[in-house]
């Protein structure tokens, strides 16, 4: 049985449905991210696990126990908030020890645990300070230590890095992952940042409009999106309108040029329009035609725009009514393509993601 089990969970409000038909099984020690745009229901789902919202229907089980109607203070679930939510009247040590005091643990045990948590989050000297004396990143570490101090069954993080600047976000992200691995705690992480979700998670739950779009490992979610939403939300994507030449052979045409997908296109008739998605990093300029295999797809077009971004050069190429964009690694010894230049781009058949009818 899964350690955290959500079955047919639904949450409706007066005017709308926030979460619908949500099913998820999380194994002990797994790191799961809920990824989706604002209003997709990811935070509502997290709040239902925490007990701050009650599902309209469905069940939530933690370690086999049904917690669906259980008040939040009896769930033993640690929560880290976007706004840190440290108690301003308490020192860092008192904040971390709060849950243990509430549980009436002996003073010695509390002090030892607080010390241990401060070391875990690399703030051993900060116990006597007040939250207002800490930076945002330090406050969030304290919030993490406070949530972990009670040894929760599940750790819930609600966009914990959103309020921090980019550099601290990356370092704290790595720290969260390393602490989670070290403690082996089952973790649910809510974010709208795909990079965070991809880099942290064992599995990602991509959500849209209150429903699960896809559940998979970061590798699966990025490389094999099953819906158009996932394909477009996770990573950058070129979506091109193609026409089926032969569904069985996986042949398509874009602006009259034939390309090939690695798999048959399914039950689609010849001449039917179809959406084809290509990740930008898989596309390259076909400068040395002899060096690429014959099976590689090629599309000829006109360079419409070139943007120099430092480590990469972003190129937009137009094929009739459509355009695609890709990044070339900056090579100081080679000039980037010029605007208006005719070029050919290439990509392997395996890179063609078929998203269904246009």
Partner 1 sequence: MRKRHFWPWVWVVLGLLYFFVPLIATFDFSLRARKGVLSFDAYANVFDDTFFYQSFTFSLQAALLTIVISALLIVPTVYWVQLRVPRLRPVVEFVTLLPFVVPAVVLVFGLIRTYSSTLLNSRAGGYSLLVASYVVLSFPYMYRAIDTGLRAIDVRTLTEAAQSLGASWATILLRVIFPNVRIALLSGAFLSFAIVMGEYTIASLLAQPAFGPYMNLKASSAVYEPSALAILSFGLTWGTVALIQFLGRGAPGQTQLGGVR
Give the interface with partner 1 as residue ranges (CB under 8 A).
50-52, 71-79, 81, 83, 85-89, 98-99, 102-103, 130-133, 143, 146-147, 150, 156
SS3 label, residue 234? coil
CA distance 235 to 14: 34
| Non-local CB neighbours of 104 within 8 Å, separated by 6+ positions | none
* Among candidate residues 4, 8, 6, the one with its CA nearest the CA of residue 64: 4
What tokens appear for 184 in the block?
A: 């082996």
277: β partners: 239, 353
Name the minimum Å distance from CB 267 to partner 1: 49
Return phi, psi of residue 136, to 5°.
-60, -45
**Of 146 and 203, CB closest to partner 1:** 146
Strand 186-191 versus strand 31-35 pairing type: parallel
CA distance 346 to 125: 56
- Could you tell me if 82 and 159 are in contact, meaning their C-beta atoms sit under 8 angstroms apart? yes
Phi-psi region of 61 (alpha: psi -120 to 50; beta: other; left: phi over 0): beta
What tokens appear for 7 in the block?
A: 């079955």
- Could you tell me if 247 and 266 are in contact, meaning their C-beta atoms sit under 8 angstroms apart? yes
What tokens appear for 195 in the block?
A: 């990079």
Q: Which strand (E) or helix (H) includes residue 248?
A: none
- Could you tell me if 207 and 230 are in contact, meaning their C-beta atoms sit under 8 angstroms apart? no
**Of 50 and 207, CB closest to partner 1:** 50
Neighbour order of strands in the sheet with 65-66: 17-26, 4-12, 57-62, 65-66
Question: At what angle are helices 107-120 and 136-149 packed, to 10 degrees?
Answer: 140
Strand 17-26 versus strand 4-12 pairing type: antiparallel
CA distance 64 to 254: 53
66: β partners: 61
């Amino acid at each position: 049985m899964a350690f955290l089990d959500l079955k047919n969970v639904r949450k409706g409000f007066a005017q709308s449905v926030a979460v619908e038909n949500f099913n998820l099984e999380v194994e002990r020690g797994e790191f799961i991210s809920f990824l989706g745009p604002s209003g997709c229901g990811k935070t509502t789902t997290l709040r239902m696990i925490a007990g701050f919202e009650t599902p309209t229907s469905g069940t939530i089980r933690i370690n086999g126990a049904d917690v669906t109607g259980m008040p939040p203070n009896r769930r033993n679930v640690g929560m880290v908030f976007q706004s840190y939510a440290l108690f301003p009247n308490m020192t860092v040590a008192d904040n971390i020890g709060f849950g243990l005091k509430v549980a009436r643990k002996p003073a010695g045990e509390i002090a030892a645990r607080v010390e241990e948590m401060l070391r875990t989050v690399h703030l051993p000297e900060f116990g006597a300070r007040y939250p207002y004396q800490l930076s945002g990143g330090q406050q969030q570490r304290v919030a993490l230590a406070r949530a972990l101090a009670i040894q929760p069954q599940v750790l819930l993080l609600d966009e914990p890095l959103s309020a921090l600047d980019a550099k601290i976000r990356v370092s704290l992200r790595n720290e969260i992952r390393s602490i989670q691995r070290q403690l082996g705690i089952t973790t649910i992480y809510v974010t709208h940042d795909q990079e965070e979700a991809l880099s942290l998670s064992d599995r990602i739950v991509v959500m849209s409009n209150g429903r699960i779009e896809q559940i998979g490992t970061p590798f699966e979610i990025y490389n094999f999106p099953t819906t158009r939403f996932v394909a477009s939300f996770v990573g950058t994507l070129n979506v091109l309108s193609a026409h089926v030449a032969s569904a069985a052979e996986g042949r398509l045409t874009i602006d009259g040029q034939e390309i090939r997908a690695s798999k048959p296109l399914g039950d689609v008739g010849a001449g039917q329009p179809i959406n084809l998605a290509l990740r930008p990093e898989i596309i390259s300029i076909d400068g040395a035609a002899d060096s690429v295999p014959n099976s590689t797809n090629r599309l000829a077009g006109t360079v419409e725009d070139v943007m120099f971004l430092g480590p990469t050069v972003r190129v937009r190429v137009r094929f009739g009514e459509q355009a695609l964009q890709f990044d070339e690694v900056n090579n100081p010894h080679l000039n980037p393509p010029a605007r208006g230049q005719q070029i050919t781009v290439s990509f392997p058949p395996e890179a063609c993601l078929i998203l269904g009818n246009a």
